[in-house]
Amino acid sequence: MAKLDILEFPDPRLRLVAQPVETFDADLKRLADDMLATMYDAPGIGLAATQVDVQKRLLVLDISETHDDPQVFINPEILESRGTEVCQEGCLSFPGVYADVERRDWIRVKAQDVTGKAFEFETDGLLAVCIQHEMDHLVGKVFVDYLSPLKRSLLLRKLEKQRRHAG
């Protein structure tokens, strides 16, 4: 498995819109494996293909505390949603900064696995939040887009500061 480069904000490629996956082949399986390896290495709990400069509707997640429950969602769609909840979110494309974002609390999702097999499930809490965050990436949206201009500029200033310190 190869580690992929994660695009960081404000890279304009984070704004590209992903295309539906139509071919479920060995290359797709390899991409999903590489994305999982990249996510675990970062470390993070979710990664969308957009973040590794691949414009395909594919995302990977693992919200388990033991980091042994990899999940792959291809061509994900939210069929139904209810309620709202505010959760503190971070993003591998914004290292070291976090912000509260309001999302739907409960969602019913349809997706395909790496073999193309369709599945449907309902979820809430952290998994629901993560799926919505990663699905946003697939349409070129990032979590800071939800913040007020003031909160966003404070957060982006902090991001710059973190980069200088990491630099």
Q: What is the end-to-end Cα distance of the chain in Å, rounded?
A: 27
- Find the part of the chain contacting Ni ion (CB under 5 A) among 14-22, 35-43, 61-69, 84-92: 84-92
Question: 110: which strand partners?
Answer: 77, 120
Total of chain residues touching Ni ion, rule CB under 5 A: 1
Stretch that binds Ni ion, among 20-28, 88-96, 98-106, 153-161 (CB under 5 A): 88-96
Task: Identify the H or E element spanning 92.
Answer: none
Q: Rounded to the nearest whole angstrom, what is the least distance from the CB of residue 162 to Ni ion in the complex?
A: 16
Q: Does 91 bind Ni ion (CB under 5 A)?
A: yes
Closest approach, Cβ 101 to Ni ion, in A, equals: 11
- Whole-angstrom distance, CA of residue 116 vs CA of residue 74: 8
Query: What is the CB-side half-sphere exposure of residue 140 using CA atoms within 13 A?
Result: 9
Positions in the binding site for Ni ion (CB under 5 A): 91
